[in-house]
Structure 1
Amino acid sequence: MNTSVPTKNMQQKLPSASGQPPVTGDEVVKLSNIKRMFGTTPAVDDISLSVQRGEILGIIGRSGAGKSTLIRCLNGLERPDSGSVIIEGQEITGLTESQLQPVRRRIGMIFQHFNLMSAKTVAQNIALPLKIAGIAKPERQKIVAELLELVGLSERAQHYPAQLSGGQKQRVGIARALAAKPSLLLSDEATSALDPETTQSILALLKDINQKLGLTILLITHEMDVIRKIADRVIVLDHGHIAEEGPVWEVFARPKADTTKSLLKMLTPALPDSIAAQLTQNPQSASEAIVRLRISGESARRPLINDIAAASGLNARLVHGGIDTIQGEPVGTLFLGLPAHDQTALQKAVGFLKTICDETEVAGYVSVPDARNA
């Protein structure tokens, strides 16, 4: 399936729904002290954030964290009780429904369950926002054809949604969201209903669109793997407030909030059960210390085993773990085995690791048949 994205010539051909020249400036979205209450419960609690032009911002949190309410405040479907929502320099919180319409046409939206019209063909679904915007039929047909090529569905133009796979339906949703040439694309759990392979293809398509068309994307998800794959920056929500934010690789490498650490557990290597079951906290009854490291950046590029030997005289072995690459930076969790017979040398090794690693912890001690002497 063709997922290539045309050049910016295509973006230039897409109509501006607002009929206004593009707004200059770096910020597409700016929220200041947004608060939205449901009864006495704050769904969004004093949130301030910005989204830069061309950026992919991931917003993640558990169910009930406030993600859906926040995205509805962004497109004017929810009115915040206090605070400011600015889209491309325009404050929208005080606008009437009719005044909001041109703003919403600058905001594309893709959904978890696609929201396609079952009685309309693929081409008709994509053309719908163009028809509403008053674009003439010949121009609509031209734009629809370009968008179908963009998402790799040219041969499905006359199919109905029931004839499509989940991934194909989401591609139609993406094409429809792009039809009115939005400056911002909101993705609300857009891959949650898809299998892992299809999810990867949709994320690759979104990243390609972002890079070649310069489209700003705000990605709402509860999956850290989605954030890792395509986001530039991540905001972690917890009970309506921002628990943590930063470049994706830094948040993955050095998570601070408990919520972030919990969300990362599924992606972070854990000590195998067969070894964890043997752990003791008594170094006298064991031959090897198991040391857990969280490591990133330049430290992850070092010849770590050699450095440990040079610093402490101990020969380390890799027990478990791995290194991933996020935004071009190595980020990983490693479990090393270090001889425990010489506690002075062991403490020297652990002390050295603490100076270069994001996090260092002696998980415990085990007895191994081939215990070595340094």
Structure 2
Amino acid sequence: MNSFVSASAIETKPEAAEDVVRLLDVKRRFGTTPALDGISLSIAKGEIFGIIGRSGAGKSTLIRCLNGLERADGGEIHIEGRNITSLGERDLQPLRRRIGMIFQHFNLLSAKTVEENIALPLKIEGAAKTERLNRARELLDLVGLSDKAKAYPASLSGGQKQRVGIARALAARPALLLSDEATSALDPETTRSILSLLKDINRKLGLTVVLITHEMEVIRTIADRVAVIDSGKIVEEGQVWSVFANPQTAITKSLLSGIRPQLPDHIAARLSRTKGREVIISVDLAGSEAQGALFTDLAAELPHGFRLVHGGIDHIQSQPVARFFIAVPTRNIKLAGKVQQFLTARSARVEVLGYDSDHA
């Protein structure tokens, strides 16, 4: 049984929510190489949507197509209901002002003060100086840098520079905020503070955020939904808690390996397909079963029927998500089957990983 908790069991975006982004069979090639190979997805107003994949998967091309810097070779890209794939450069300019962009390396102008960097998009639009500076100060307060208005970028830490970059991206009051690996150059503590800021901005402004990243921890911390991209294709998509609880593809499992419990290396190294003293089983659960007395009940029904090897419980989008590894003795040929039957009847996803002959 692969399902865990029905989507109706948790808070979801209303079905009628307006799509700020809608992609239909988007393709982009460089020579004979497909960078995007039929991408289709929708992102609702006010949603934080994560797009994750390894280097070269197509993430950067996708984000450049979203902001109009790259032209798709096929398909449609709709931003706030307007198909941008057919627009000329002149018509794209006002649409780009509806899209804010945060960069990995900040891209601040070193010769301009913090408030001048933030006000730059409004200056390009032709806004009056008073309006520009008032907006810059408002945004500095929002990102927690009110005392840095007259400072220059060289005097700022990496986290402060990214806060300025976020403020600048918000200057023109965009409907969509694109984040291109915005935290990958930052240390873990600073990354957490930047993600918390983005979540706060999303909540206060109702702003739609698209995160491009190769870090599952970023997705886990902030995103509502996630799409996994590999070789220019979306290979998996869903609510973050659901994808973490039940990854369907090898690439998703690989991306999750650093933050989901994994079988300890010394045990994994000695597993074989030849029958040994114990069979090692992985158990994945989500929702109420992940918090319940599953193993207590199993021990009561099958005393001495298993031992817990490794695992733990996490909470993602307020949903408990658990992964455990158990060892079941093979001396009773029916025991492993009974354990698996018990677990799957309680909505666990069970996988036999192999046999361990070395455990005493």
TM-score by structure 1 length?
Answer: 0.87
Which residue of structure 2 lines up, in the alignment, with residue 11 of structure 1?
none
> In structure 1, what is the Cα distance between the partners aligned to 2:331 and 2:160?
60
Q: Which residue of 1 aligns with 2:10?
A: none
Report the CA distance between 1:135 and its aligned residue.
1.8
1:320 aligns with 2:310: yes
1:346 is aligned to 2:336: yes
Query: Hey, what's the Cα distance between the residues in 2 that align with 1:345 and 1:310?
Result: 14
In the alignment, which residue of structure 2 is the partner of 1:6?
none
Q: Which amino acid aligns with 1:148?
A: L
1:249 aligns with 2:249: no
Alpha-carbon contact 1:53-1:216 (below 8 Å) kept: yes
Residue equivalent to 2:295? 305
Partner of 2:11: none
The Cα shift of 1:279 comes to: 4.3
Deviation at 1:64?
1.1
Q: Determine which of 266, 282, 295 is the counterpart of 2:285.
A: 295
- What is the letter of the counterpart of residue 182 of structure 1? P
1:277 shift after superposition: 4.7
CA distance in 2, matches of 1:93, 1:151: 34
Q: Given the alignment, which residue of 128, 149, 159 partners 1:136? A: 128
2:348 equivalent in structure 1: 357
Partner amino acid, structure 1, of 2:340: V
CA contact (8 A) 2:101 2:177 kept: yes
Q: Residue type matched to 2:127 in 1? A: I
Distance (whole Å) between structure 2 residues aligned to residue 361 and residue 247 of structure 1:
26
- Give 1:259's match in structure 2, choosing from 241, 245, 251: 251
Give the distance between the partners of 2:237 and 2:98, measured in 1 at CA: 26
Instruction: Confirm or deny: 8 A CA contact 1:290 1:366 kept in the other structure.
Output: no
Residue aligned with 1:343, SS:
coil
Q: Which amino acid aligns with 2:332?
A: D
Shift of 1:351: 2.1
CA distance in 1, matches of 2:270, 2:31: 51
Post-superposition offset of 1:202: 0.5
1:145 matched to 2:140? The reply is no
Which residue does the alignment assign to 1:187? 179
Residues 306 and 64 of structure 1: is their aligned pair in 2 closer, same or farther, counting only changes over 3 Å?
A: same
Q: Output the CA distance in 2 between the equivalents of 1:366 and 1:157.
A: 65
CA deviation map 1:108-127 (0-9, x unaligned) = 00000001001111111001
Q: Contact between 1:147 and 1:179, CA under 8 Å: does it hold in 2?
A: yes
* Matched residue, 2:68: 76
Preserved contact between residue 293 and residue 361 of structure 1 (Cα < 8 Å): no
Cross-structure match for 1:58? 50
- Is 1:235–2:235 an aligned residue pair? no
Looking at structure 2, the residues matched to 349 and 314 of structure 1 have their Cα atoms a distance apart, in angstroms, of 11
1:41 matches 2:33? yes
**Aligned-pair CA distance for 1:281:** 5.0
Do the aligned partners of 2:104 and 2:183 also contact (CA within 8 Å) in 1?
A: yes
Q: Quickly say closer, same or farther: Cα 1:145–1:41, change in 2 above 3 A.
A: same
Quick one: distance in 1 between partners of 2:329 and 2:73? 60
Alpha-carbon distance in structure 2 between the residues aligned to 1:303 and 1:316: 15
How far, CA to CA, are the matches of 2:102 and 2:60 in structure 1? 13
Normalising to structure 2: TM-score of the pair? 0.90
Cα distance in 1 for partners of 2:313, 2:190 equals 25
| Shift in alpha-carbon separation, 1:143–1:332, aligned structure 2, 3 A | same
Please state whether the residue corresponding to 2:334 is helix, strand or coil: helix
- For 1:326, give the aligned amino acid: I
Alignment partners' CA distance in 2, 1:188 and 1:111: 5
> Using the alignment, how far apart are the partners of 1:322 and 1:301 within structure 2?
11
Please provide the CA RMSD for this pair: 1.9
The whole-number CA distance in structure 1 between the counterparts of 2:333 and 2:121 is 70
Instruction: Show the counterpart of 1:110.
Output: 102
SS at match of 1:145: helix
1:236-267 deviation per Cα after TM superposition (whole angstroms, max 9, x unaligned): 11111111111111111111112111111112
Percent identical across equivalent pairs? Answer: 61
- CA distance, structure 1, for counterparts of residue 50 and residue 357 of structure 2: 40
Contact 1:308 1:314 in 2 (8 A): no
Point out the more displaced range, 170-179 or 132-141: 132-141
> Could you report, residue by residue, the CA deviation over 1:186-209 in whole angstroms, capped at 9, with x for unpaired residues?
000101111111111101110111
State whether residues 253 and 358 of structure 1, in contact with CA within 8 Å, keep that contact through their aligned partners in structure 2: no
